Amino acid sequence: MKPLLTAIREGRLYLDGGMGSMLQAAGLPEGRLPDVWGGENPQAVQAIHRAYLEAGCRLITTNTFGTTAPKVEPYGYTVAQVMSAAVANVRAAMDQAGVAEAYVCADIGPTGKLLRPYGDLDFEEAVARFAAPIRAAEEAGADCILIETMSDLYEMKAAVVAAKENCSLPILASLIFDGSGKLLTGGSPQAAVALLEGLGVDVIGLNCGLGPQEMAPVFRQLWEAASVPLLLQPNAGLPRSEGGKTVYDVTPADYAAQMAELAPMATLLGGCCGTTPAHLAALIQATKDLPLPEVTWKDTLLISSYCQAVALDGHDPVVIGERINPTGKKKLQAALRAGDMDYVLNEAFQQEEAGAHILDVNVGLPGLDEPTVLTQTVEAIQAVTGLPLQLDTSNPEAMEAALRRYNGKPLINSVNGKEESLAAILPLVKKYGGGLVCLTLDDNGIPADAEGRLAIAQKILRRAEAMGISRRELLLDGLTMPVSAGGDNAKVTLETIRRAKAELGVKTALGVSNVSFGLPQREVLNQSFFTQALQAGLDGAIINPKSGAMMGAYHAYRALQGLDSQCQTYMEAIQHITPTAPAPAAASPAPTAPAAPAASGEATLCHAVCKGLKEAAAAQAKALAEEGRDILDIINGELVPALDQVGQGFERGTLFLPQLLMSAEAAKGAFQVLQGYLPAGESQGEPQILLATVQGDIHDIGKNIVKVLLESYRFRVLDLGKDVPPETIVAAAQARKIPLVGLSALMTTTAPAMAETIRQLRQAGLACKIVVGGAVITQDYARQIGADCYAPDAMATVHYAQEVLEG
């Protein structure tokens, strides 16, 4: 049998289709992990594999979507046992079907958890969870690793890193996008391609969530950006519920017809939820004779964050903000030494608002533990901005630590022509991916002429290509020397840029402002040199985006070169620019980060919550409380409106789950501070009020505010937390003889759980009163579901508690 990667290059391949619904039909009991059940009922699983093989599928996926230690060990099995039984099931089905040439895809599904800082799963813990089934898959004889249904690029990165570190099998990486064309955590198709090609996966794909028609727009975007073969496994349409069962409407014939439209872009085809062997048989029949997609190499270098990609296409330059670098910046030095992350984050926001497309991050200071501080700084910045980062350090240990944790594909600044630098940095680029800034210096220093610098560039290029790093990923830095130290210095740099583009076909980067070192009115020189460098072919300009002069030069260059359609960006930006003025707030020509919900740099509680700045939010809350402002007024006038703003951004699709989570954390931090200004609660005695956020709902900020306020009015509260089943609430209310039950629900989808809880409380014959609240609840709805009171805010809850409990 051909190696899988050869087979992928030579012809179209078919994966199988849905597994879950077929397992249910085969008798999988509700609540039992399918992976475990499959090991215990091999005939049932083998029959499904066999049906797909008989339909013509030749890549068969193991029944191991949930095979991680936390999920299988409670059943008394190890990951290795479940994986090897699953691989054996595929092999047995191949024997039964008489198919000798088929490939076993070891299925790796998501953990079901969000990674820090958005959730509580640490990146390394995620890598370890994926490592175990991947190791077991190779040991059991699988042919490739299929990482699928990933809705978050950070988790996908953890899985791919685990695969690269624990096996030598080909890696197929497949994502689940939603109807808005984004991943759950906001990632775009281009950001996915950047990350996954950087990590070196063999195939990129889409599966689940949508049907072929709904998937088409995202798939087209993948096709336009990717240089590797693509895989497509949609559902049989959009799922809908019918009589409590999930059903899919796309028939095998329609599925085949819709997939045939996309087949010119997909080397590997298959199906996901709702598809059956009949769907796959029809698909194969309809597409097997269609021409194979021609996978084309894209020369554009993509750099990415968790949500967006910035393209360096060799024509349209981008701005790399240079301000997060402590050299010569006393305040930043002090902030880094004190661990004052908010200072650094503000610097990031200001550059973003000034129009930077990528942010350089350098924390090199004597005496600072650079691996730790760089990683922490990168994690803090990537949690609150969608701009990709440039990791800037000469310390390889710090580079690896930050690269590993970086949520995307960064710029790596830098490698140079010295052997030790090449040996340390190139393997990191190969492993984690990244655009690599190549400094034209070596053990003999910086050559005086362009010829010498290009010779070093060629050496780096050869070494990178020998390691399998494409020249597309390289940016040559011709190095800026001050003109005050040599009349030809600027000319040599410009010539190096010109020749690097023309003779080596690489992109270029440059820190511009060093040219004026030692001279007065530096910005005048910087601006002019910058324009000349752009003219020479500079792609990644490392400049101060807060300088009106530099951003003016940048926007003028783009307008004059026809890179700014109808001078739109120029016109918008120039309104804010005076030649030496600080940063304009400019529209960005490259893909923009999700819109920020608040105006720039304002030190307000609302701004801190909107931007997800936890420490700043706590500090602002403290300042307001110290001013003597009423605590409830701060909550209702600042905290709630800030979260409303974030919620609106989320609804419009300009903000994504990560920002929602960061804002929630900031609001919680502020509230914790405010809590200290409220009178202490009463803890002695039986609880009088039971509080809970209803089943399915994890929003608890509002409920917690209600609790603290009730306690400050000296009511005794039993807090059952969030996502609480009706049965738990009824049992607790019954056991503790609670006179007042308070329920919170924040979503239209969880309001019915509130109704169900009330129904069960009433059915149990409890004499308690019931108060309800939360953003989606209204007076009418409360009445309709049988609540005794609707409380629009925390104070209203206190008033009702006083009425019920104090007469």
Straight-line distance from the first to the last Cα atom of the chain, in angstroms, rounded to the nearest whole number: 82
Contact region with ligand B1M (CB under 6 A), list: 76-84, 235-243, 742-750, 759-767? 742-750
CA neighbours closer than 13 Å in the CB half-sphere of residue 504: 33
Nearest to 710 by CA among 595, 796, 620: 796
Among 744, 754, 782, 798, binds ligand B1M (CB under 6 A): 744
* Shortest Å distance, C-beta 555 to ligand B1M: 35
**Residue 70 token pair:** 């936390």
Among 434, 589, 702, 739, binds ligand B1M (CB under 6 A): 702
Residue number, 134 or 720, with CB nearest to ligand B1M: 720
Is residue 614 close enough to count as binding ligand B1M by CB under 6 A?
Answer: no
* Shortest Å distance, C-beta 730 to ligand B1M: 16
CA 673 to chain centre: 30
Nearest to 4 by CA among 130, 92, 102: 102
CA 306 to chain centre: 4
Is residue 696 close enough to count as binding ligand B1M by CB under 6 A?
Answer: yes
Is residue 591 close enough to count as binding ligand B1M by CB under 6 A?
Answer: no
d(C-alpha 693, C-alpha 677), whole Å: 25
- Window 748 to 787, contacts with ligand B1M (CB under 6 A): 748-749, 771-776
* Shortest Å distance, C-beta 797 to ligand B1M: 4
* Shortest Å distance, C-beta 718 to ligand B1M: 12
Residue number, 290 or 698, with CB nearest to ligand B1M: 698
Is residue 697 close enough to count as binding ligand B1M by CB under 6 A?
Answer: yes
**Residue 248 token pair:** 């899919």
**Residue 236 token pair:** 């049989």
Is residue 743 close enough to count as binding ligand B1M by CB under 6 A?
Answer: yes
Residue number, 155 or 322, with CB nearest to ligand B1M: 155
Among 699, 724, 754, 758, binds ligand B1M (CB under 6 A): 699
Residue number, 527 or 797, with CB nearest to ligand B1M: 797
- The 3-state DSSP class for residue 144 equals strand
Task: State the DSSP string of 512-555.
Answer: -GGGGTTSSSHHHHHHHHHHHHHHHT--EEEE-TTBHHHHHHHH
Residue number, 335 or 746, with CB nearest to ligand B1M: 746
**Residue 159 token pair:** 């899985």
- Window 178 to 207, contacts with ligand B1M (CB under 6 A): 184
Residue number, 186 or 277, with CB nearest to ligand B1M: 186
Which positions from 616 to 645 touch ligand B1M by CB under 6 A, shown as an x/- string? ------------------------x--xx-
Contact region with ligand B1M (CB under 6 A), list: 98-106, 352-360, 446-454, 698-706? 698-706
* Shortest Å distance, C-beta 736 to ligand B1M: 16
Is residue 746 close enough to count as binding ligand B1M by CB under 6 A?
Answer: yes
- CB of 644 within 8 A of CB of 652? no
Q: At which residue do the structure tokens 């960064």 appear? A: 410
Encode 151-162: b = buried (16+ Cβ within 10 Å), e = exposed. Answer: bbbbbbbbbbbb
Residue number, 464 or 640, with CB nearest to ligand B1M: 640
**Residue 518 token pair:** 């030692």
**Residue 587 token pair:** 């529209």
Residue number, 424 or 775, with CB nearest to ligand B1M: 775
Nearest to 533 by CA among 561, 497, 499, 557: 497
Number of residues forming the site for ligand B1M (CB under 6 A): 40
- CB of 618 within 8 A of CB of 673? yes
* Shortest Å distance, C-beta 82 to ligand B1M: 28
Among 664, 666, 690, 753, binds ligand B1M (CB under 6 A): 664
Contact region with ligand B1M (CB under 6 A), list: 408-416, 560-568, 675-683, 692-700? 692-700
Contact region with ligand B1M (CB under 6 A), list: 71-79, 220-228, 280-288, 701-709? 701-709
d(C-alpha 699, C-alpha 721), whole Å: 10
Sheet with 717-719: list strands edge to edge: 717-719, 689-693, 740-744, 769-773, 789-790
Task: State the DSSP string of 82-101.
Answer: HHHHHHHHHHHHHHHHT--S
Contact region with ligand B1M (CB under 6 A), list: 34-42, 130-138, 296-304, 738-746? 738-746
Residue number, 494 or 691, with CB nearest to ligand B1M: 691
Is residue 647 close enough to count as binding ligand B1M by CB under 6 A?
Answer: yes
Calculate helix-pair angle for 522-536, 548-560, nearest 10 degrees. Answer: 30
How many beta carbons lie within 10 A of that of residue 128, not counting itself?
15
Among 411, 412, 646, 729, binds ligand B1M (CB under 6 A): 646
* Strand runs labelled E in 666-768: 689-693, 717-719, 740-744
Is residue 703 close enough to count as binding ligand B1M by CB under 6 A?
Answer: yes
Parallel, antiparallel, or unpaired: how do β-strands 301-304 and 309-312 relate? antiparallel
Residues that bind ligand B1M (CB under 6 A): 184, 640, 643-644, 646-647, 650-651, 657, 660-661, 664, 691, 696-703, 705-706, 742-744, 746-749, 771-776, 791, 793-794, 797
